[in-house]
Amino acid sequence: MDIYDLFFYMSLFAGFMMAFNLGANDVANSMASAVGAKAITIRQAVFIAGTLNFAGAVFLGSHVTATVSKGIINPAAIADPKIIMVGMFSALLAAGVWVLISTLTALPVSSTHSIVGAILGFGLVAGGPDVVNWLKMVGIVMSWIISPFFAATIAFLIFTHIRKTILFKKDFIHQAKKWAPIWMGLTVLLISLSFLYKTPVGKSLELPFFGSLALAFAIAGAVWFAGRLAVNKLVGDPEEGAEAVESTFRKLQVGTSCYVALSQGANDVANAIGPVAAIYLISKEHVLLAKADVPLSLLVMGGLGIAIGISLLGHKVMSTVGEKITVLTNTRGFAVDFGAATTVLTASNMGLPVSSTHAAVGAVVGVGLARGFSAVNFKILGRIVLYWVLTVPIAAFTSIIIFSLLKWAFI
């Protein structure tokens, strides 16, 4: 077995570990608010998220990915493909270890930033500061501010609107019947646009901008109309009081959580499997290609890794985001999902760097702040932010150590 085969087989392990950690940590993005609001139990969340993430990874996951360098370094500046191969393996391992440590301490971090930091680390050692795209790094730092504040603001405004127009009204049942179909239509509009612009399958349709808008508005309009017809069934028994309103938003919240889980699998599997595919190509062709075709078998491996990660450790971070930052109800949880999804869709389409993890946490804080500062656990929030800031330097430093050792041993 030569060095190429050896690193390909080792990269399978590292890729699976990264996928496992994606599932264990990122599941909080999709299911935490639904669990925190008691819309579903942790066991149900694990089953739903595991199934939908796997389906998203295998059936909607990108078969062609450009995640070889994530745009952080210029691989062309590093002449020896063996260096790139060892570096990508070191990056996968370093990022996986950091996300695992974060999961075990029950704190949500950005898996994308972990990979970015790790690639930055080996890039600095292998090619020097000139191979690093520092402008991209500035964008990463900006995302620590943009994503959470954007999501917190939107979630704050949505929950404030729900309180003002429904919960604080005397005739809140009548108001709920009026607003529930509107929120259903808006939710489906958001999901439709997000599917068209954020998933590999949606992007492959290559619909023109106005065509996408027209399709999304048509689907949302149909859902709004159906909601109007079924409004009496949507809103619960008036004798249940405010719980009748909460039960309506519970259904919406479960729907948005399921969608986020599906798209999460489709988008995030490339973080773990893209570098494995790149290493595979280097091992066979002995050259680095800008894009790597991902075989279905690797996507299945990634999907399985994500599902197993959710099953074994997903409850830890889900509990922190859904229960320990602030108390969530179904209306608050709906505002969280809507705020986070809107942020990711809007900001990424504007070319702004966003993290879905940061957006989810920011949205939870936003609905908490709608009830005052005392409703938010700033001690937990401080620990989370500290981990966000530490992610890039720790992943980079770990990657440098692993890369240096492997380079000394094998090259």
* Each residue's pLDDT tens digit, 181-214: 898 898 889 888 888 887 777 778 888 888 888 9
Which is nearest to 296 in space by CA: 46, 12, 61? Answer: 61
Residue 143 has pLDDT above 80, yes or no: no
Average pLDDT over residues 99-122: 91
How far apart CA 258 and CA 191 sit, in angstroms, is 11
What pLDDT is stored for residue 353 in this prediction? 61
Instruction: Give the pLDDT confidence of 357-396 residue by residue, as tens digits.
Output: 888 999 999 999 998 999 999 999 999 999 999 999 999 9
Query: pTM here?
Result: 0.87
Give the pLDDT band (50/70/90) at residue 67. very low
> When comparing pLDDT for 317 and 283, which is higher?
317
Which is nearest to 32 in space by CA: 369, 340, 380? Answer: 340
Residue 63 has pLDDT above 60, yes or no: no
> Taking the alpha carbons of 66, 69, 72, 76 in that order, is the dihedral positive or negative?
negative
> From residue 234, how far is each of 107, 173, 220, 240, 343 by CA, in Å?
36, 11, 17, 13, 27
Give the pLDDT band (50/70/90) at residue 251. confident
| Bridge partners for 73 per DSSP | 132
Give the pLDDT band (50/70/90) at residue 397. very high
Instruction: Give the pLDDT confidence of 263-274 residue by residue, as tens digits.
Output: 777 777 777 887
> When comparing pLDDT for 126 and 27, which is higher?
126
Instruction: Give the pLDDT confidence of 152-169 residue by residue, as tens digits.
Output: 999 999 999 999 998 888
How far apart CA 114 and CA 388 sit, in angstroms, is 9
How far apart CA 204 and CA 193 sit, in angstroms, is 14
Question: Could you give phi then psi for residue 64, rounded to 5 degrees?
Answer: -125, 120
Q: Yes or no: say if 244 and 177 are a contact pair by the CB < 8 Å rule.
A: no
Give the pLDDT band (50/70/90) at residue 352. low
Token pair in block for residue 202: 């949606």
Residue 258 has pLDDT above 80, yes or no: yes
Residue 338 has pLDDT above 80, yes or no: yes
> When comparing pLDDT for 410 and 270, which is higher?
410
Give the pLDDT band (50/70/90) at residue 69. low
What pLDDT is stored for residue 340 in this prediction? 86
